[in-house]
Structure 1
Amino acid sequence: MRVLHVIPSISPVRGGPSQAVLAMVKALQAYGVEAEIATTNDNGLSLLNVPLNQRTEYEQVPVWFLPRFSPPLKEFIFSTAITQWLWQYLRNYDIVHNHYIFSYAPTCAGAIARHLRVPYIVRTIGQLSPWALNQSRLKKQVYTFLIEKHNLNCAAAIHCTSASEAEDVRRFGIQTPTITLPLGVNQPSYMPDAKHKLRYLYGIPIETPTVLFLSRLHYKKRPDLLIRSLNLLAVQNYKFHLILAGTGEPDYVKYLKNLTVSLGLASRTSFVGFVMGNDKQLLLQGSDIFVLPSFSENFGIAVAEAMVAGLPVIITPGVQIAPEIAKANAGLIIEGEEDILANAIAQLLTSPNLRQKLGENGQSFANSQYSWSAIAQNLSTVYKSILRIS
C-alpha cells in the first residue's frame, strides 16, 4: 500500500500542521506503510534550502519538494510545479491523504485524484470552525461554492482530530464519512534539572514561577491577551516570568514587544524565538504553567506536548480537544477574557499542589491518547477499509 500525503508546506514556520504530517508519515513507515509527502519549498517569506523535483530524505521522511510560485499568498501557496508532478505521479499511489483546505496543493490533489479514480482523505485542520470561516469570509465562501465543497463531498473520508472538529464538518453541510483520530506526541527525554537550567539561561530568580506560551506568535493564538492578563497580576504583585516561544510576522512581534514595554513587563518577559529539540524540551520541562488562549485550534499539538511533559495547561474552548482535557481533569478551560485568564493563572501560581495534580493528570491522559504508533495502526486500518470499497 502506497500513500501520498499532500500539504502546502512542511516548513517549521507554518506551525503544528507541518510538524504533525512529518511525524505521521514517520509513524506510518514504522508500521510498514509506504508513505511519502508531496509539498512545496515554501518557508514563509523565504524558501527552504532543499533539493527540488526529486525524492529526498527530510527529517527522516521521504519528501518530494516542488518549487512554489513566489511570493506566497498566505497558506494558499500556488505551485504550477506541484500540479505537473501530481498529474505525472499521483496514479502511482493507492490513496492520497490531503492536509489543509482552502489551499492550492491539496485542492489540486483532490481534483486530480478524482480524475484518476484514486481515493483521497481530507484533513481540514480546523479550517471549518466558526472562527476560521469568519477570516477572509467572502473569499472562502466563493472558494467553497466553486471548489471546496465538491472536493470535500467527493472525498472517501474526512480526517478529524477531535469530536468538535467532526461537528464542524457536519455544520458545514458535508455528508462524507468522518474518522476521528487525534495527532500524536513523541515521548521526550527526561531532563532532571530543567527548572534550574531554564532559570539560569534566562536570568530568572529560582523562586519565580514561569508561564510558557509556545506557539506561533499570531493574533489567532492571542499572546496579547496573555500579556494583558499577566499585567493584571503584576499590579497585584504576583511573581511570574513570561516566556514567549515562537516566531511570527515582524510587525506583530514588534507589537507584542511594545506591549510588554508599555505595560512595564519587559523585564518579566523573554521572547526566545522558534525552538525545537532540547531547547524546546527545556522550556516544556522547566516551566510551571502552559497557556494557549487561542481563538481556534483543531487540535493544539503544543498543548499535547505540554501535557506529555507534565506541565499544567490553561486553554480556551477554541482549542478543540478542550472537552477531553476537561473530562480528564488535565487542565483549566477558561473563556478568553483578561480577568478570567488572570484568575486562572493566579490560581495555579498560588497552588503548587494543583499544578502538580493537573500536570500528572495531563501526562497520564496524553500518554494514553496521543501515541503515534497507535494512531499509525488506526490510520492503516482506515486506508485498507477505504481501498476495499473503492
Structure 2
Amino acid sequence: MRILNICAYTWEIGGPARIIYDHTTEALKMGHEVDILSPMTPGDDIYEIPTGARVIPCRRSTPVSNFYREFSVDLYKHLKNHVHEYDLIHIHGIWHFGSLAPFLIKNKVPKVITIHGLLDKWAVNHHKWKKDLVSFLYQKKILAKADLIQINNADEEENVIEYLGYRPKNLVTIPNGIRMEEYRNLPVRGSFRQQFDIPDDKKLVLFMGRINIKKGLDLLLPAFAAYLKVNNDAILLLAGPEDGYLAETKKFIADHQLTDRIRYVGMLTDTTKLAALADADLFVLPSYSEGFSIAVLEALAAGVPALVSDRVGFGEYIRQYNAAYLSPLSVEGVEKGLSDMLEKASTRAEFAQRGREMVAENFDITRVAQKMLEAYNTVLPT
C-alpha cells in the first residue's frame, strides 16, 4: 500500500507530527510506502523523518495562508500531478486547506480524516466565525464524503454527531499510541536539573506543550503562584514552542516576580526531553481541549505522575485506572491538585505506577498502528 499523509509536519505542530512518525514507522516495517505532504513556512523545523519515508515540503502561500490555514498552491499542484500514485490519502485535522485540497481534484483514492480533537466545543468556538464560514462552504460536505473518519474516543464521537447532526457510517475509533520502549531507560536522574540549574531541594513541576491558552496556562500560572504563597518548595518549568500565549505568560511571570520559580525553556526534544521527564516530580496539563494528548502519554509512559484535566483525550481511561489526578478547569481546582500531588511522594508514586500500567495495556503503538492499517484495508478497492 502506498500512503500519503497530509499535515504540517513540523516540531511546532506537536502531537500530530509525532503520531504520523510512529504510525509511519510501523507501516514501513510491514512493507508499506509512506509519503508526508507538509505545508511549510521558511524557518519551520521539519519533524524527524522515519527511515524509508519521504517528506514533501510545500511552501505556504502568503498572504492567503495568514487567513486560511495551510493554504499552499504547491500542495495543490503536487496532489494534482501525483494523486493517482497513492492507494490512500490520510488527512490530519480539519479547517485547513490540506483537508480540502484532495477533494478539489478529480480522483478515486480513498480518503481518511483524523479529527485530532478539532470538533471539541472549545476548539470550535475559538475563531468561531472562521469555522462557521468553512463549515458553510465545505467542511461538513467533506466529512460526509470521506471514506473513513478516525476519532480517538467517545467524546470525539459525540462531537462529530453534534457537528454533523447525525452519526456517520464511516466513523472508526482508534486511540493514539506511543512507543513504550523509548521510555523504559531514561537518562540518569539529575542530569536535566544540572543542565538547567534547578536546585535539588525544589520539586520540579513540568508543563510540556505548545504555549497556547487552550493548554490551560491561564489556570496553571495563577494556581502555581497561589501554591507558592503557602509552599515555597517547587519550580514550574514551561517547555514548548510559542503558539500565541508566550507574551501573556512572560508578563504574568514578571508582574508576580516569579522569574526564579516559573521558567520558560522553549521546546525540548530527544534526549533533553527524556531527561526532563526523568527529573520531573509532577507533569501538569490542565488543558481545555486535546484530541489525544501525546505529551500526557509520554509523561505517563515515563513514570511521571500527572495532574491533567479530563479534556486530554482519554479521560475515561484515566478514570478507569485512576491513572492521573483529574483537575477541574478552574484556578482553585488546579491549585488544590498541585497541593494534593506535591504534598506526598507516596501519592505521586502510586499515580505513576497506575499511569504507566494504563499506557502499556492500552496504547502501545504496535497494537494501535495495526488497528489503523486494518481500518485502511476496509476502504481500499477490492
Q: TM-score range by the shorter chain?
A: over 0.9
- Equivalent position to 1:68, from 48, 60, 69: 60
CA shift, 1:383, in A, is: 1.2
Secondary structure at the aligned position of 2:221 is classed as helix
* CA RMSD of superposed structures (Å): 2.0
Deviations 1:140-194 (Å, cap 9, x if unpaired)? 1121121111100011111112221122111112524211111122222523632
Pairing 1:202–2:193 present: no
Which residue in the other structure is 1:248 paired with?
A: 242
1:355 has 2:348 as partner? yes
Number of residue pairs aligned between Structure 1 and Structure 2: 376
Number of the residue aligned with 1:3:
3
2:26 maps to 27
What is residue 314 of structure 2 aligned with on the other side? 321
Which one of 156, 164, 186 corresponds to residue 191 of structure 1?
Answer: 186
Aligned match of 2:13: 14
Counterpart residue identity of residue 31, structure 1: M
Structure 1 stretches of 4+ with a deviation exceeding 6 A read none
Alignment of structure 1 residues 118-129 onto 2, 5 Å: 118-129=109-120
Which residue number in structure 1 is paired with residue 324 of structure 2? 331
Deviation at 1:333, TM superposition (A): 1.1
CA distance in structure 1 between the aligned counterparts of 2:246 and 2:57, rounded to whole angstroms: 29
CA distance in 1, matches of 2:39, 2:363: 28
Q: Where does 1:253-292 land on structure 2 (aligned, <5 Å)?
A: 253-292=246-285
Please give the TM-score of this superposition, normalised by the length of structure 2.
0.93
CA distance in 2, matches of 1:201, 1:172: 47
Residue of structure 2 in register with 1:225 after alignment: 219
Q: Deviations over 1:242-295 (max 9, x none)?
A: 11001214x732321221122232111221111100000011111011110111
**Aligned mates of 2:304, 2:128 — CA distance in 1:** 36
2:364 to 357, 361, 371: 371
Deviation string for 1:175-231 (max 9, x for gaps)? 24211111122222523632x223222322223211100000111112232111011
Decide which of 104, 115, 137 is 1:146's aligned counterpart.
137
Q: Does 1:92 align with 2:91?
A: no
Of the candidates 140, 157, 169, which is equivalent to residue 148 of structure 2? 157
Distance across 1 between alignment mates of 2:85 and 2:98:
17
Paired residues of 2:178 and 2:364 also in contact (CA < 8 A): yes
Contact 1:40 1:65 in 2 (8 A): yes
Q: Report the Cα offset of residue 116 of structure 1.
A: 1.1
Secondary structure at 2:22 match in 1: helix
Asked if the contact 2:11/2:46 (under 8 Å) is kept, the reply is no
Tell me, what secondary structure is at the counterpart of 2:250?
Answer: helix
Distance 1:203 1:355 in 2: 24
Distance 1:59 1:223 in 2: 32
**Matched AA of 1:32:** G
1:133, 1:331 → 2: CA distance? 27
- State how far apart, in whole Å, the 1-side matches of 2:73 and 2:197 are: 49
* Cα distance in 2 for residues equivalent to 1:237 and 1:188: 31
TM-score between the two structures when normalised by the length of structure 1: 0.91
- Secondary structure of the residue aligned to 1:73 is helix
Q: Conserved in 1, the CA contact under 8 Å of 2:11 and 2:45?
A: no
Work out the percentage of aligned pairs sharing the same amino acid: 26
Secondary structure of residue in 1 paired with 2:116: coil
Contact 2:277 2:304 in 1 (8 A): yes
1:169 to 160, 165, 168: 160
Q: Distance in 2 between matches of 1:31 and 1:325?
A: 31
* Cα 1:344–1:170 shift into 2, 3 Å: same
For residues 75 and 355 of structure 1, what CA distance do their matches in structure 2 show? 44
The unaligned stretches of length 5 or more in structure 1 are 51-56
Residue 264 of structure 1 aligns to a residue whose secondary structure is coil
In the alignment, which residue of structure 2 is the partner of 1:134? 125
Q: Aligned partners of 2:62, 2:174: CA distance in 1, in Å? A: 34
